[in-house]
């Protein structure tokens, strides 16, 4: 139905659907709101009287009056005694600036094989176990579990994690040393903020490594980020000493990306460094659950709880979609970290925390890890065998733990070109060059992630790589 306004403005099309699920008043209100927002009803424009509009639309006058009152309370309309209700001047001709279309995501498809790293087997995600744990929590938790809680995390989960980490990672921690957080990213973000509060001005990181991400995060907290080289024994502690930094981020269990395990003597040197400068070692214990040939190397934290902050996550062991992780920190950082977490988000989701605690306590977490470990071990063997078959002249290193390995290309091979050519053949490859920060001309190497790469794809992918190198 077309409504002629009393003023000089255009007609307005109002459609009232009497059989619809939405109430008559809500329909009228919504259409007037939209007309005002989009500028079809201009600011200052007088509206028909409620009597007139009610008659035109076949509605009760009270309904139209209610509708006008509502829009007036919301600021869309104005009225003065004795004058017509008008469209408010504020509301008009200011449509939100159109958002530019987001750039199409780099939807690269790799139908043959994708050696993307840093992601576990998504097909193994613990669907049933997680649904079970959440249901149990919802069924049995006391009402208080649905309230806010201490920002550092649910007591129950911190207890379970402290004992689990002691058993599996030789971590030395009480529940009070633990802060539950949203995965590795938040763990690092809270830690760098706490470092800044300690007066630490620079954070060293491993080169090659996650320098770009670390630099961005450190800068947000006002810290400089300093690369320190990694050799076959892990981080070069002498170079760290020379850097002058008083904090360092390391991946001792399985250096990212080289896969080197930090040796026992380097561990001791590193701790001596931290004690000398009253510095802090931040241990990213990201891959420790998956070690194949022998037992995992215990955490650095257990050796020196006074100067090591250990960070863990379930992103690799369960799924990144849970966004749960933890920080084990020396006492001197605890207050700053707890405050940081409170300011950041007032604590991680309580139900998820209780579900994770239950998953670990019930043995389902370990069972899931065993299953995943067996699968990754099989893929690792496939990778080794496929390399031996298709490219026996190439070295494969960094296989002690985790789910990626380094394939050393022949000297002079062009990392970039091979990645690009493989992409055209449906094989997703990722090079190591972008993870170097100082090396002018690093040797050509590929990081072959096999966490989410099926065995058949590994085989086919290696064949393609070998073919391209021919």
Residue located via tokens 């069972």: 367
Choose between 222 and 410: whose C-beta lies nearer to its own copies.
222
Percent of the chain that is helix, strand, coil (3-state, to 5): 45, 15, 40
Residue 168 Cβ, how far from its own copies at the closest point, in Å? 10
Nearer to its own copies, 116 or 437 (CB): 116
Of 14, 303, 384, 433, the one binding its own copies by CB under 8 A:
303
> Judged by CB under 8 A, does residue 60 bind its own copies?
no
Which residues 73-102 are close enough to bind its own copies by CB under 8 A? 73-78, 88-91, 94-97, 99, 102
> Closer CB to its own copies, residue 321 or residue 378?
321
CB 56 within 8 A of CB 68: no
**Burial label, 7 (beta-carbon count in 10 A; 0-12, 13-18, 19+):** middle
Taking contact as CB under 8 A, which single stretch among the options 128-136, 156-164, 239-247, 404-412 is the one that binds its own copies? 128-136
Q: Which of residues 49 and 72 has its CB atom nearest to its own copies in the complex?
A: 72
Give CA–CA dist 446/49, Å, rounded. 74
Q: Rule CB under 8 A: choose which of 27, 319, 387, 453 binds its own copies.
A: 319
Which of 2, 17, 147, 199: binder of its own copies (CB under 8 A)? 147
Q: Which of 134, 369, 384, 463 binds its own copies (CB under 8 A)?
A: 134
Stretch that binds its own copies, among 47-55, 156-164, 325-333, 413-421 (CB under 8 A): 325-333
Contacts of 370 (CB under 8 A, 6+ apart): none
Near its own copies in 209-248, by CB under 8 A: 216-217, 220
3-class DSSP assignment, residue 137: helix
Give the nearer residue to its own copies in terms of CB position, either 120 or 431: 120
Q: Which of residues 403-442 bind its own copies (CB under 8 A)?
A: none
Q: How far apart are CA 402 and CA 64, in angstroms?
A: 67
CB of 306 to its own copies, least distance (A): 5
Q: How many CA atoms lie within 13 A of 136 on its CB side?
A: 16
What's the token pair of residue 411? 């000297």
Q: What number of other Cβ atoms are within 10 A of residue 359's Cβ?
A: 24
List CB contacts of 285: < 8 A, sequence separation 6 or more.
Answer: 169, 252, 253, 299, 301, 310, 311, 312
- By CB under 8 A, the residues from 148 to 207 that bind its own copies are 148-149, 170, 172, 174, 176-177, 181-183, 185-186, 189
Smallest gap from Cβ 51 to its own copies, in A, equals 21
352 binds its own copies (CB under 8 A): yes
Chain centroid to Cα 26, Å, comes to 40
CA dist list (Å): 373 to 184, 291, 367, 450, 456: 21, 8, 10, 12, 18
* From 40, 61, 334, 408, residue interacting with its own copies (rule: CB under 8 A): 334
Q: Considering the complex, state which of residue 322 and residue 465 has its C-beta at the smaller distance from its own copies.
A: 322
d(CA 111, CA 156): 44
The Cα 260–Cα 235 span in angstroms is 9
Nearer to its own copies, 11 or 306 (CB): 306
Q: Which helix (H) or strand (E) holds 176?
A: none
Q: Which stretch binds its own copies (CB under 8 A): 133-141, 203-211, 364-372, 409-417?
A: 133-141
Task: CB nearer to its own copies: give 114 or 207.
Answer: 114
Cβ neighbours, 10 Å, residue 317: 20
Q: Is 265 in the site for its own copies (CB under 8 A)?
A: yes
For the bound state, the minimum distance from the C-beta of residue 143 to its own copies, rounded and expressed in Å, comes to 4
């Amino acid at each position: 139905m077309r409504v002629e306004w009393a003023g000089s403005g255009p007609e307005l099309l109002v459609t009232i659907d009497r059989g619809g699920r939405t109430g008559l008043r809500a329909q009228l209100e919504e259409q007037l709101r939209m007309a005002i927002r989009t500028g079809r009803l201009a600011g200052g424009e007088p509206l028909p009287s409620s009597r007139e509009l009610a008659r035109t639309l076949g509605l009760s006058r009270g309904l139209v009056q209610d509708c006008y009152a509502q829009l007036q309370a919301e600021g869309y309309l104005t009225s003065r005694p004795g004058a017509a209700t008008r469209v408010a001047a504020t509301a008009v001709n200011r449509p939100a600036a159109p958002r530019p279309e987001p750039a199409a995501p780099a939807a690269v498809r790799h139908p043959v094989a994708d050696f993307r790293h840093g992601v576990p087997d998504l097909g193994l995600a613990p669907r049933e176990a997680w649904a079970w744990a959440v249901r149990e929590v919802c069924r049995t938790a006391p009402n208080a579990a649905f309230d806010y809680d201490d920002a550092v995390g649910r007591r129950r989960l911190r207890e379970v994690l402290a004992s689990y980490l002691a058993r599996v990672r030789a971590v030395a921690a009480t529940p009070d040393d633990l802060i539950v957080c949203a995965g590795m990213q938040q763990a690092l973000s809270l830690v760098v903020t706490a470092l800044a509060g300690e007066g630490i001005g620079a954070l060293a990181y491993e080169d090659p490594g996650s320098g770009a991400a670390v630099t961005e995060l450190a800068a947000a907290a006002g810290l400089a980020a300093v690369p320190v080289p990694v050799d076959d024994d892990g981080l070069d502690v002498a170079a760290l000493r020379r850097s002058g930094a008083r904090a360092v981020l390391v991946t001792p269990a399985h250096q990212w990306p080289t896969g080197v395990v930090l040796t026992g003597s380097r561990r001791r040197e590193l701790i001596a460094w931290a004690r000398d400068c009253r510095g802090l070692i931040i241990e990213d214990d990201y891959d420790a659950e998956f070690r194949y040939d022998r037992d995992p190397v215990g955490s650095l934290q257990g050796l020196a709880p006074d100067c090591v902050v250990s960070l863990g996550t379930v992103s690799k062991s369960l799924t990144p979609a849970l966004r749960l992780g933890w920080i084990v920190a020396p006492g001197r950082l605890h207050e700053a970290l707890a405050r940081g977490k409170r300011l950041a988000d007032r604590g991680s989701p309580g139900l998820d925390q209780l579900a994770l605690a239950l998953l670990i306590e019930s043995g389902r977490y370990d069972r899931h890890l065993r299953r995943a470990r067996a699968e990754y071990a099989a893929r690792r063997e496939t990778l080794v065998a496929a390399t031996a078959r298709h490219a026996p002249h190439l070295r494969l290193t960094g296989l002690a733990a985790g789910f990626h390995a380094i394939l050393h290309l022949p000297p002079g091979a062009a990392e970039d070109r091979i990645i690009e050519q493989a992409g055209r053949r449906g094989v997703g490859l990722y090079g190591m060059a972008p993870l170097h920060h100082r090396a002018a001309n690093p040797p050509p190497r590929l990081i072959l992630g096999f966490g989410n790469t099926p065995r058949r794809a590994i085989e086919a992918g290696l064949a393609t790589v070998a073919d391209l190198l021919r």
